[in-house]
Structure 1
């Protein structure tokens, strides 16, 4: 073969190999939490989220939602419902908490069975004494979740009894239910000076979804901020998720700290993350 022709052929093969490798990389569902659109009409929230290139949504305040409206808007804007944000506790009135959970699970069943995700309450110092109660009550959660064939994902949260990835993974492993999973959020572990790779690997086999956000400052005076406004390296984060073969959804969480800012603008926030962080996960 003519050397020049052979060289061109090799270049074509190399390009094809590169494109094939890029195509093989996972492109995760990348959702925006409607908590960030507090008090917006659903139609407006769905429309902007789709326009900005997000590929899913997380619903907020489930008790206020109409399943039919949610289904119609999800279809209209081609945005699947990835998760429902709850605010449940494994302390206090168990019957009341179970009733609230079941209500959200019923909603989930009607809109495509998205993950129901929640924090669980109490304080870090309570963990050793309260773990048996958490375990017992989570078994009831798992039974309800199995009834509705919908996963419930618990979040380890700085300042809460459940605050480490190994604690969440241990509970999930002990209960051993396909319907009790973890909502992994590295921002809570970064504030505890825990490395990304280690915490991801600890929780990985139980992770149903990932929340992303950033933080500034140090505990107890830290503030949560939008993804991309802190120091988490999302290029490295995405590369690590590929390396670990994670294929689940990624959801942008807008913290209450952000919502409390006097100049907070929902559209500006959604556009900022879509422009700065979303491309790193594509």
Structure 2
């Protein structure tokens, strides 16, 4: 397993500053946020900017762990759905373009919708995800669908249902365990069920239970990262453990993205040490 950082936590930091800092801190890889509103939003990245990102990744010895787009796959309005699906295809193209040789090319997004939409929209999600998966497969990309509290895909049972019907090698899970913790599903229950589906992860800390909860930076809360890493290793997961700094944290008046990136790294690095797992080495 390797330690990654998502530029989700560096919404306004120029990529020329972000990638060198992420490397200096010690991260092995980076998930590039190309979500709407971020400085590296997908449609701001022209050919020159994409080439510069490739150069910076190589210069600073960073693996592209993935790209994250996060738009709904179950939009009802035909025009908005067409735009959403095109943006996901374009994000898949970007992942294929930027991922280094020998690495898994990953594009992450949530399904969208609300928890209460599950019964009425789950078949739509399957249909659209399968079409998107065929597109991804042609480009050597894996779609990582994120489990997310409050969204359609918000429980292990729903993940099982989805993967029974979307039995496609280019669709896997982005396992963000914080979204399970805040609904009362702990490590011992979530990891054995969800790690086998997973191609990528997000980790945060957290306090409280949904809907009265708060996401925190790793190291600010009570989450047992040592037990989590041991459980992920036991479940056979060997990908990136990627720190994601939540918008909950970014809203703070004194938010410093570099401090929180450092805090997350050292929290994870120490947890790897205590767990007896060498980060960057195969499990």
In the superposition, the TM-score normalised over structure 1's length comes to: 0.86
Q: How far apart in 1 are the matches of 2:183 and 2:115?
A: 12
Return the alpha-carbon distance in structure 2 between the equivalents of residues 31 and 64 of structure 1: 24
Query: Counterpart in 2 of 1:94?
Result: 81
Structure 2, unaligned stretches of length 5 or more? Answer: 35-41, 273-278
Measured against aligned partners, the alpha-carbon deviations of 1:229-279 in whole angstroms (never above 9, x if no partner) come to 122100111111222221111111111111111110011101111222222
SS at match of 1:217: strand
Q: Tell me, yes or no, if the aligned pair for 1:166 and 1:202 is still in contact at 8 Å.
A: no
Q: Give distance in 1, aligned partners of 2:217 and 2:240.
A: 18
Q: CA–CA distance in 1 between the matches of 2:133 and 2:18?
A: 31
Range with greater deviation from structure 2 (179-188 or 129-138):
129-138
Match of 1:53 in 2: 26
Aligned-partner Cα distance in 1 for 2:44–2:2: 25
Q: Which has the higher strand share?
A: 2
SS at match of 1:216: strand
Structure with larger Rg:
1
Deviation of 1:82 after TM superposition, in Å, equals 0.3
Secondary structure, aligned partner of 2:215: strand
Residue 111, structure 1, aligned to residue 102, structure 2: no
| 1:166 Cα deviation from its structure 2 partner | 2.7
Q: Is the 8 A contact 1:213 1:252 kept in 2?
A: yes
With 68-77 and 243-252 compared, the bigger mean Cα shift is at 243-252
What is residue 83 of structure 1 aligned with on the other side? Answer: 66
Alignment partner, residue 128 of structure 2: 137
Which of 197, 208, 212 is residue 206 of structure 1 equivalent to? 197
| Count of matched residue positions in the alignment of Structure 1 and Structure 2 | 255
| Structure 1 range deviating more: 243-252 or 195-204 | 195-204
Q: CA RMSD in A?
A: 1.4
The answer (yes or no) to whether the contact 1:191–1:218 under 8 Å persists in 2 is yes
1:12-40 per-position Cα deviation (integer Å, ceiling 9, x unaligned): xxxxxxxxxxxxxxxx1211111212211
Residues 94-144 of structure 1, C-alpha deviation per residue, up to 9 Å, x if partnerless?
Answer: 321221011111111111163110112111112122211111111112111
Matched, 1:33 2:6: yes
2:243 is the counterpart of 1:256: no
What runs of 5+ residues in structure 1 fail to find an aligned partner? 1-27
